[in-house]
Amino acid sequence: MNLSRRQLLAASTVAGATIAVPGVAAAAPTVVRRDRPALPSGIMSADVTTNSAVVWSRTDRQARLVVDLTSNGRFDRAIRLRGPVTGPDQDFTAQLPLKGLRPGQRYDYRIAFEDAHGRRGESLEGSFSTPGRNRPVSFVFTGDTAGQGYGINPDLGGMIAYKAMHDTRPDFFLHSGDNIYADGPIAAELKVADGTVWKNVVTEEVSKVAETLAEYRGRYRYNLLDHNVRDLYADVPLVAQWDDHETLNNWYPGEILTDDRYTEKRVDVLAGRAKQAFLEYLPMEHVAGRNRIYRKVSYGPLLDVFCLDMRTYRGANPTPDTVGPVAMLGAEQAEWLVREVAASKATWKVIASDMPLGLLVPDGSLIEAVGNGVPGAPGGREHEIAWVLSQFKKRKVRNAIWLTADVHYCAAHHYDPSRAAFTDFDPFWEIVAGPINAGTFGPNALDSTFGPEVVFSKVADFPSQSPAGGNQFFGHTSIDPRTGVFTVSLRNLFGTVLWTKDLNPAHH
């Protein structure tokens, strides 16, 4: 949906002015009529750039998405945009790309659905801001939601770490993967190793491992029952990645399961259903009409975010002693990453990686992530990462920082060729966050190939510690437009800062 500059300027009281709007108060509850389309899963925006965004919602019957968009909170002056008709084929989800937005602008949007008779039902309001010059940028990042049987605990107030992220008022939220745990059933009660009992809200779809499309969809619907998640998504744009648990633990293309819990043993079939549900429920800007998860999200002159997909194109999980190369990104994605990062004019280049580079993540006797635990020259999946890092050095890429999740604890790693077996790269930081509502673990063993050093880490008090223990973690980043300083911190369930670091930008 292209919006003309004139239309958008007309929506503001002063043409060309930046409209400052205070934080959106909770919208007055709408009276939900059962004969009109409802909004059972809230609303969200995603992949916001200087001039574009995507908005999303879900209804409960066949209906058309209707979006009112304004830049000053005055919905009597809003532009009305009609989106697609949705139905059971999309699980009643719908999203609408918005183009032609103005940089540095706060937008408010109201979403409803219209039935076949043109009657609109329940409506909800949200907001997002497009990045602009001379404006600070802040965002939060984490991963791992509703894992190890830890779902929505009403005694705790639900997924309250989402509220802690929301309270920082970030410009966007980067979810680094494992948005759901499709392979982890959620029961009404769970006994924790410390003797406590964790209680969950439950639905039928989360009672078993997800195999059918309906079961995968049900996992996303489950998370959206939580008011902390819905409140964040209405107010903070999402940038979503996926990892293994959107499908099942440690999967790779072509895998055949031996797990008795599954009647469908072909992982490729399950991954196809899982990806459909992922793309229905987590909106993103689609690249050239392809349902490709790896993409660049440009967030103004200070920041480009490069979202990786370390799942779709990987080879089979190798043994630790595999010497030859094994795909992790795949050649096309690896070449895309190097080309796009080298071409980026943004001060900072965030490589949003769904798995860490220097931690050993085993899959039984096999290797699940990059590091193989074998000191010395690169082997297996380390070859591809070594190539990427050496290309960054060759092309004089500055200010690249890797952000990741997956291992269910938080850490700050500094990589330096002076400590490494493979030395053809420039030093860089990798910040690990998560889980945000799952069991906490750690620490994982460090792989020495790229010379990582653990500068900080905070781990579980015992394996699969519940979120009630407070060891849930997210990262927070802010970039100062005057100095370009990138301030990154790691925070816990309550938003308490555990570690922080100011990174000064290097210049060409």
pLDDT (tens digit per residue) in 336-362: 999 999 999 999 999 999 999 999 999
Distance CA(16)–CA(19), nearest Å, equals 9
Average pLDDT over residues 310-316: 97
Average pLDDT over residues 169-197: 98
Structure-token pair, residue 155? 């005694």
- pLDDT for 90: 98
Asked if 400 and 392 touch (Cβ cutoff 8 Å), the reply is yes
The SS3 call for residue 467 is: helix
Average pLDDT over residues 201-217: 97
Max avg pLDDT among 31-35, 68-72, 439-443: 439-443
Q: Is the pLDDT of residue 6 over 70?
A: no
Number of C-beta neighbours around residue 499 at 10 A:
17
Distance CA(464)–CA(440), nearest Å, equals 5
Distance CA(357)–CA(364), nearest Å, equals 19
Q: Is the pLDDT of residue 13 over 60?
A: no
Please report which confidence band the pLDDT of residue 8 belongs to, taking 50, 70 and 90 as the band edges.
Answer: very low
Q: Note the pTM of the prediction, 2 decimals.
A: 0.93
Asked if 350 and 139 touch (Cβ cutoff 8 Å), the reply is no
pLDDT in tens, 410-437: 999 999 999 999 999 999 999 999 999 9
Number of C-beta neighbours around residue 82 at 10 A:
12
Structure-token pair, residue 397? 């890429």
Q: Is the pLDDT of residue 146 over 90?
A: yes
- pLDDT for 35: 86
The SS3 call for residue 293 is: coil
Asked if 320 and 331 touch (Cβ cutoff 8 Å), the reply is no
Distance CA(469)–CA(242), nearest Å, equals 26
Region of poorest pLDDT, from 13-17, 66-70, 248-252, 320-324: 13-17
State the residue for tokens 């895998």. 255
State yes or no: cis peptide before 443, omega within 30 of 0: yes
- How far out from the chain centre does Cα 68 lie? 26
Q: Is the pLDDT of residue 12 over 80?
A: no
Q: Is the pLDDT of residue 62 over 50?
A: yes
User: Angle at Cα 351 formed by Cα 350 and Cα 353, nearest 5°?
Assistant: 135
Distance CA(325)–CA(478), nearest Å, equals 37
Structure-token pair, residue 219? 């996992």
In DSSP terms, which residues pair with 145 in a beta bridge?
Answer: 437
Lateral strand order in the sheet of 474-479? 93-99, 52-58, 43-46, 238-240, 172-175, 137-142, 474-479, 486-491, 497-503
Q: Is the pLDDT of residue 27 over 50?
A: no
Please report which confidence band the pLDDT of residue 278 belongs to, taking 50, 70 and 90 as the band edges.
Answer: very high
**Amino acid at position 393, single letter:** K
- pLDDT for 354: 95
Q: Do β-strands 172-175 and 238-240 pair in parallel, antiparallel, or remain unpaired?
A: parallel
pLDDT in tens, 494-503: 999 999 999 9
Asked if 188 and 200 touch (Cβ cutoff 8 Å), the reply is yes
Number of C-beta neighbours around residue 113 at 10 A:
28
Q: Compute the residue count for the chain.
A: 508
Three-state SS string over 91-135 comes to CCEEEEEEECCCCCCEEEEEEEEECCCCCECCCEEEEEECCCCCC
Q: Is the pLDDT of residue 75 over 70?
A: yes
Distance CA(190)–CA(155), nearest Å, equals 13
Asked if 479 and 486 touch (Cβ cutoff 8 Å), the reply is yes
Region of poorest pLDDT, from 115-129, 179-193, 287-301: 287-301
- pLDDT for 73: 82
Structure-token pair, residue 113? 């659905």
